[in-house]
Chain A
Amino acid sequence: MAYALEISDLKKTYPGGTEALKGISFAVEEGDFYALLGPNGAGKSSTIGIIGSLVTKTAGKVKIFGIDVDEDLALAKTMLGVVSQEINFSGFEKVIDIVVTQAGFYGIPKSIALPKVEKMLKRLSLWDKRNDQARTLSGGYKRRVMIAKALIHEPKLLILDEPTAGVDIELRREMWTFLKEINENGTTIILTTHYLEEAEQLCRNIGIIDGGLIVENTSMRNLLSRLNVQGFVFDLESPLDETPEIEGFPLKLEDPLTLVVAVNKERSINALFAELSSLGIKVNSMRNESNRLEELFIEMVKK
């Protein structure tokens, strides 16, 4: 099995004694789209900081595509792109200069970088803003500049630390499409996010970190299969006066046109539809009651 990232027994204690990482180990397969989740202060950013050499580790090993960062950090860095949580470019420079300069730091001369930058900025809908000073951009566009910067040297592993924080839903979905596309083209992606829906939509595997320890490391499918009960919301065609009673399906009438039900995974939802039909209740549409991953996540970090 080829790994894009292997982390073993990684520890980080900050000056002052805060133990951010207590010896975490996990690996991300090449080509994976991996979610690293955890509550605030769990150790996600410390982990990413160490991988990107922004944070000095106290102990442990980090390998990027088999290259130990303690042995050949420069080579490991050429394969890595990091989109940090905070905006980290000078606001007084033009968008195009920021990205061309970043390419230069990776040894790509301006003449070679310019066509790549043009393609990247166009792909991220930034081309029209290429001559704008970065500080004049909205939060969403600044995030796109961060992504363009991280990808300009075509890294094989891309780490995104909450890339869609504070970004509106339209732009968030645009970013999801873009990230899915580059993942399909072979880039391994590690994502941290507070939007669990995002992780559920995008990622195939997931690690949950809490209190400096990995508390879960599995596939998204495995994790979600552990949910025994799932909530659904039905939008009804006609209003109801009172909550109907159907054996085995606890129902709740949110309002006259909205019915909420918790379905045990052992039960068939078809049976529920048959019962509703027999009572003359017509369902116009149906959606999940809440994010499924969110329920599991809360359960795990509460332990």
Chain B
Amino acid sequence: MSNNRNISVALWTLTTKEIRRFLRIWIQTLVPPAVTMSLYFVIFGSLIGPRIGTMDGFDYIQFMIPGLIMMSVITNSYANVVSSFYSVKFQRSIEELLISPMPNWTILLGFVLGGVCRGCLIGFIVFGVSLLFYPDFTVVNPLLTLTVLFLTSILFSLMGFINAVFADSFDDISVIPTFVLTPLIYLGGVFYSINILPDFWRAVSMANPMLYVVNTFRAGMLGVSDVSIGFALGMILAFIGLLTGSCLYLLGKGTGIRQ
């Protein structure tokens, strides 16, 4: 496949296939985050939140909204790619792609765009749900907010892709989200500012990559952050570059997909 038009048709085909896939099973992909986040807002925002008071000068529920949106975006963009790519391996429909003349970067981009679409869509859904509980919420810096939303979806879609490449069973695609992603997200400042932590745990938290993602997003939505925005964006971009290179290397080598 040498001409750009053919490649763009192939990319469009794969991307729309990926979007169709998660929309077809919307009850499994779009509804659960809305329900789960509603519960978070009810319990931690409306019931427990007023007893906590303010966090970094904001109502607790207001402080929590960016963190919960980011948590949903991370888990959904990751889950979309890891489950979709592992499924095509499992069902052997990966052969449809490997036999076709699509370049490897198109295959990677198609899956990542699928993850980005789901991640961003979930982000908007959870934001919509949050407005039901805190209608006065206003986004301080929409451009930064949308940029971080987009970059985070890309980053975690790439991570999901690598997980799927190495996965040999359905267990393998749930281990990382359950035992690595979720703890890091919870300890990455979704529910609290690291300024309330003792010095030691504050220093430990600085090594958690989720902290930078969550705080940069919070900076876009609320205008406050525990970390430097420039540094955090730089780190996100650097990781995207590194993971893209790794994914293309694995695809080129045929790891997990070619015998």
Residues of A at the B interface (CB closer than 8 Å) are 14, 49, 52-56, 73-75, 77-78, 80, 82, 84, 86-92, 97, 101-102, 104-110, 149
- Kindly list chain B residues whose C-beta atoms are within 8 Å of the C-beta of A54: 95, 98-99, 258-259
A149 to chain B: closest CB distance in Å?
7
| Smallest beta-carbon distance B108→chain A, Å | 14
Which residues of chain A have C-beta atoms less than 8 A from B97's C-beta? 105
Q: How far is B258's CA from A192's CA once the two chains are assembled, in angstroms?
A: 21
Q: How close is A211's CB to chain B, nearest CB, in angstroms? A: 19
Q: Is B96 an interface residue (CB 8 A)?
A: yes
Q: Which residues of A contact B20 (CB under 8 A)?
A: 97
* Bound Cα distance A80, B98 (Å): 12
Q: Does B92 contact A (CB under 8 A)?
A: yes
In the complex, which range does the number of interface residues on chain B fall in? Answer: 20 to 34
Give the secondary structure class of A's interface: loop
B184 at the interface (CB under 8 A from A): no
> Which of the residues A55, A73, A105 comes within 8 Å of B13, measured between beta carbons?
A105
**Chain B contact surface mostly:** helix
Residues of B within 8 A of A53 (CB): 98-99, 258
Chain A residues near B1: list those with CB within 8 A. 74, 77-78, 106-107
Within 8 A of A (CB), among B32-83: none
Name the residue among A54, A87, A108, A110 with the largest chain B CB count within 10 angstroms: A54
Instruction: Give min CB distance, A54 to chain B, whole Å.
Output: 6
Per a CB cutoff under 8 Å, which of A56, A89, A110 touches B259?
A56
Question: Which residues of A have CB within 8 Å of B98?
Answer: 52-54
Q: How far is the CB of A239 from chain B (nearest CB, A)?
A: 55
Query: Which residues does chain A contribute within 8 Å of B10, judged by CB atoms?
Result: 104-107
- Chain A nearest Cβ from B254, distance in angstroms: 5
Query: Quick one: given A102-B100, A104-B9, A104-B10, are A84 and B24 in contact (CB under 8 Å)?
Result: no
Write the chain B residue with the least CB distance to A20. B259
Give chain A residues whose Cβ lies under 8 Å from the Cβ of B147. Answer: none
Write the nearest CB–CB distance from B224 to chain A, whole angstroms: 45
Assess whether B13 is in contact with A56, with CB atoms less than 8 Å apart: no
Residues in B with CB closer than 8 Å to A77 are: 1, 99-101
Across the interface, do A84 and B95 meet the contact criterion of CB distance under 8 Å? Answer: yes
Whether A86 and B259, one on each chain, are in contact in the complex, defined by CB atoms closer than 8 angstroms, is no
- In the bound complex, CA of A102 to CA of B102 (Å): 11
Output the least CB separation between A179 and chain B (Å).
Answer: 19
A82 touches B99 (CB 8 A): yes
For B103, give its contact among A74, A91, A101 (CB under 8 Å).
A74
CB distance from A74 to the nearest CB of B (A): 4
Measured CB to CB, the nearest residue on chain A to B110 is: A105
Contacts of A90 in B (CB 8 A): 87-88, 91, 93
CB-CB under 8 A from B101, the residues of chain A are: 73-75, 77-78, 105-107
Of all chain B residues, the one with the shortest Cβ separation from A49 is: B259
Tell me if B12 is interfacial: C-beta within 8 Å of chain A: yes
Knowing A77-B101, A90-B91, the reply to whether A105 touches B258 (Cβ < 8 A) is no
| In the assembled complex, B208 has its CB within 8 A of some CB on chain A | no
Task: Provide the bound-state CA to CA distance between A288 and B87, in Å.
Answer: 48
Can you name the residue of chain A whose Cβ is closest to the Cβ of B103? A74
5 A-B pairs within 8 Å (CB atoms) are namely A54-B95, A54-B98, A101-B17, A105-B102, A106-B100
Q: How far is the CA of A109 from the CA of B10 in the complex (A)?
A: 8
Residues in chain A near residue B181, CB distance under 8 A: none
Say yes or no: A105-B259 contact (C-beta < 8 A), given A53-B99, A86-B92. Answer: no
Q: Do A107 and B99 touch (CB < 8 A)?
A: no
Q: Which residue of B lies closest to A91 (CB)?
A: B91
List the B side residues contacting A107 at CB < 8 Å: 1, 3, 5-7, 9-10, 101
Within 8 A of A (CB), among B18-36: 20, 24
Closest 7 pairs (CB-CB, A-B): A107-B6, A104-B13, A105-B100, A88-B92, A74-B101, A77-B101, A88-B95
Asked if B259 contacts A55 (CB within 8 A), the reply is: yes
Q: Is the CB of B2 within 8 A of A75?
A: yes
* Closest Cβ neighbor of B11 among chain A residues: A104
CA distance A89 to B100 in the complex (A): 14
